[in-house]
């Protein structure tokens, strides 16, 4: 099955300059905070996990032309539709069709919001001992990945150094596919600017780090 992400933007040319924004400017339309809250509240129900939502967002065919909260809203609808929690005609009508509708593992009530946010969703787990150690030279796996992954394209096939060993974490690639958490060791891997971008002027005196799960790594000589 082919999997196409539109979100792997690191290093892509042609996107122009960054437009800074004042610190207090959080939303740009009244629907944006509602879209944010709907996404968080549905995320808290356990109907899907965060890696599934990232996969739903990055595979939206219209990703590049949508604003970020539009991406969240479209992906929220997609996740609901896929699970039979929503029918397309309901959004059109602005009203719920006759049930019964599937029950969810839990729902987020107003009184529980503060505790739920404070708890968060830590991803550290017991799991296998790390195969790599601080200072090891590694090469990131190359080639395309047929499912959601957190290995950015610009780092694939590149040689880096382990600069931190974090212990096992929920493996995003497996989690996004509904294959369980499959915790595996997580590392920070640092690349020199020249390894990634050759002699480009922007790459001088530059180090770029990514956080990479063990299955992304091979030992480099």
Partner 1 sequence: MAGMAHEHSHDGRHDHDHDHDHEHEHEHEHEHSEIGPMDLRVRALETVLAAKGYVDPAALDVLIDTYQTRIGPRNGARVVAKSWCNPVFRDWLLADATAAIASLGYSGRQGEHMHALENSDTVHHLVVCTLCSCYPWPVLGLPPTWYKSAPYRSRAVRDPRGVLADFGVVLPAETEIRVWDSTAELRYLVIPQRPAGSEHLNEEQLAALVTRDSMIGTGLARSPEAVA
Told to check if 152 binds partner 1 by CB under 8 A, we report yes
Closest to 106 in 3D by CA, of 115, 96, 94: 115
The binding track of 28-67 with respect to partner 1, each residue x by CB under 8 A or -, is xxxx-xxxxxx-xxx--x--------x--xx-----x--x
Q: In angstroms, what is the minimal distance from the CB of 108 to partner 1?
A: 5
Q: In angstroms, what is the minimal distance from the CB of 200 to partner 1?
A: 7
Q: Do 178 and 52 touch, CB atoms closer than 8 A?
A: yes
Among 62, 82, 101, 134, binds partner 1 (CB under 8 A): 101
Q: How far is CA 169 from the centre of its chain?
A: 14
Site for partner 1 in 65-94 (CB under 8 A): 67-68, 70, 73, 76-77, 80, 85-86, 90-94
Among 11, 128, 146, 157, binds partner 1 (CB under 8 A): 11
Closest to 86 in 3D by CA, of 69, 75, 106, 101: 101
Count of chain residues binding partner 1 (CB under 8 A): 96
- Of the pair 77, 141, the CB lying nearest partner 1 is at 77
The binding track of 116-145 with respect to partner 1, each residue x by CB under 8 A or -, is xxxxxxxxx---------------------
Among 1, 2, 16, 105, binds partner 1 (CB under 8 A): 16
Among 3, 49, 59, 108, binds partner 1 (CB under 8 A): 108
List the structure tokens of 31.
């629907």
Q: Do 171 and 184 touch, CB atoms closer than 8 A?
A: yes
Phi then psi for residue 72, to 5 deg, are -60, -40
User: Which residues have CB under 8 Å from 24's CB, separation 6+?
Assistant: none
Among 23, 61, 143, 221, binds partner 1 (CB under 8 A): 23
User: Which residues have CB under 8 Å from 200's CB, separation 6+?
Assistant: 193
- Of the pair 38, 221, the CB lying nearest partner 1 is at 38
Q: In angstroms, what is the minimal distance from the CB of 208 to partner 1?
A: 5
Phi then psi for residue 62, to 5 deg, are -95, 15
Site for partner 1 in 169-188 (CB under 8 A): 169-170, 172, 186, 188
What value, to the nearest 5°, has the Cα angle with vertex 69 and ends 65 and 72?
95
Among 62, 82, 211, 218, binds partner 1 (CB under 8 A): 211
Q: Do 171 and 213 touch, CB atoms closer than 8 A?
A: yes
Q: Supply the DSSP symbol for 98.
A: S
């Amino acid at each position: 099955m082919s999997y196409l992400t539109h979100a792997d933007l690191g290093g892509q040319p042609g996107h122009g300059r960054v437009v800074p924004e004042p610190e207090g400017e959080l939303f740009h339309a009244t629907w944006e905070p509602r879209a944010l809250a709907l996404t968080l509240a549905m995320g808290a129900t356990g109907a899907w996990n965060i890696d599934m939502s990232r996969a739903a967002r990055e595979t939206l065919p219209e990703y590049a032309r949508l604003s970020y909260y539009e991406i969240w809203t479209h992906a929220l609808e997609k996740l609901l539709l896929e699970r039979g929690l929503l029918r397309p005609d309901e959004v059109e009508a602005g009203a719920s069709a006759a049930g019964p509708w599937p029950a969810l593992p839990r729902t987020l009530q107003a009184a529980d919001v503060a505790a739920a946010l404070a708890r968060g969703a830590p991803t550290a787990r017991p799991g296998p001992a790390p195969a790599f150690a601080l200072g090891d030279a590694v090469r990131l796996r190359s080639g395309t990945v047929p499912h959601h992954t957190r290995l950015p394209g610009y780092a694939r096939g590149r040689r880096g150094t382990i600069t931190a060993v974090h212990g096992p974490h929920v493996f995003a690639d497996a989690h996004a596919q509904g294959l369980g958490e499959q915790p595996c060791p997580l590392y920070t891997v640092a690349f020199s600017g020249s390894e990634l971008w050759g002699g480009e002027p922007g790459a001088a005196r530059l180090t770029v780090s990514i956080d990479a799960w063990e299955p992304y790594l091979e030992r480099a000589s």
